[in-house]
Amino acid sequence: AGWKKVLVVTNEFHIERSKAIFDWIFHAPSSDDDALAPYEMYYLSCNNVGLSPEAVSSRKAHEARGEANVQNNLSTQYPTLKDVWEFLTTQHDFYTAKKLVSTATGEDRVKADNLLKISYGQSSTTLSKRSMEWKDGRLVLALDMYVIVALVVLVLGLYFSFWKNARYVKEFKSV
C-alpha cells in the first residue's frame, strides 16, 4: 500500500545534491529497529534555462559542497528518519524555528557569494525587503524558497509522526 516509486524533477545544477538527499531520506528507516522502505527512486533534470553561465557555475559549486556534506557527514550522522527530523528542527541552519523566524521577519542575512545571491534573486536590495508585512489591513507573506522548504519539512514531520502513532494504535488495538 502507498506510493513506492518516486520521481524527483529539478534543475540540472541541483540534480546530484537532490539525488544524495532523496536517496538518504527515502532509504532511511524511521528508527533503528525498522526495516528500510523499498522505494524506487527516479531522477529527471531540467535545463538551466534563464541563468547565465556564471550563475550556473556558482550554483553548481554551491550544490557540490552540499552534496559532499550530505554524503560524507549528514547521512552517516543521522541514519534514521527520527535522527533526520531532530537534526532539521534543532540544528540545521535553515530549518530551525529561530532561523525561520529570522527569515520571516527579515532579520536574516544570507552569507553567500554575491553571484549566488543574485542568481536566486537576492541582491543587497532584496535582502533588506521583509518577507512579512501588513498591507491594506491584511498580513501579506512573501514565501521564499527557504520558507517553502521549511513548511514541507514540517508537513513531512507531522505526517511521519502521525503515521508512526497510527501504526502503534493499530498494533495496540490488535493486542
- Say what the pLDDT of residue 86 is: 87
Asked whether the beta carbons of 21 and 70 are under 8 A apart, the reply is yes
Band of residue 18 on the pLDDT scale cut at 50, 70, 90? very high
Distance CA 89, CA 16 (A): 24
Rounded to an integer, the average pLDDT of 151-162 is 72
Please give the model's pTM, rounded to 2 decimal places. Answer: 0.60
Rounded to an integer, the average pLDDT of 109-125 is 57
- Say what the pLDDT of residue 165 is: 61
Query: Between vectors from CA 133 to CA 129 and to CA 137, what angle results, nearest 5°?
Result: 150
Alpha-helical segments (H) within the chain: 15-26, 53-69, 75-77, 81-90, 97-104, 114-119, 124-127, 145-173
Within 10 A of 172 (CB to CB), how many other CB atoms are there? 8
Position with higher pLDDT, 115 vs 156: 156
**For residue 67, pLDDT beyond 80:** yes
- Say what the pLDDT of residue 65 is: 94
**For residue 144, pLDDT beyond 60:** no
Contacts with 165 (C-beta within 8 Å, 6 or more apart), sequence order: none
Distance CA 54, CA 116 (A): 9
Position with higher pLDDT, 156 vs 149: 156
- Say what the pLDDT of residue 135 is: 64
State the first-to-last Cα distance of the chain, in angstroms, to the nearest integer. Answer: 23
- Say what the pLDDT of residue 170 is: 57
**For residue 48, pLDDT beyond 80:** yes
DSSP 3-state of 17: helix
Residue 92: which of 157, 21, 22, 150 has the closest Cα? Answer: 150
Band of residue 116 on the pLDDT scale cut at 50, 70, 90? low
Residue 29: which of 88, 92, 79, 91 has the closest Cα? Answer: 79
Band of residue 10 on the pLDDT scale cut at 50, 70, 90? very high
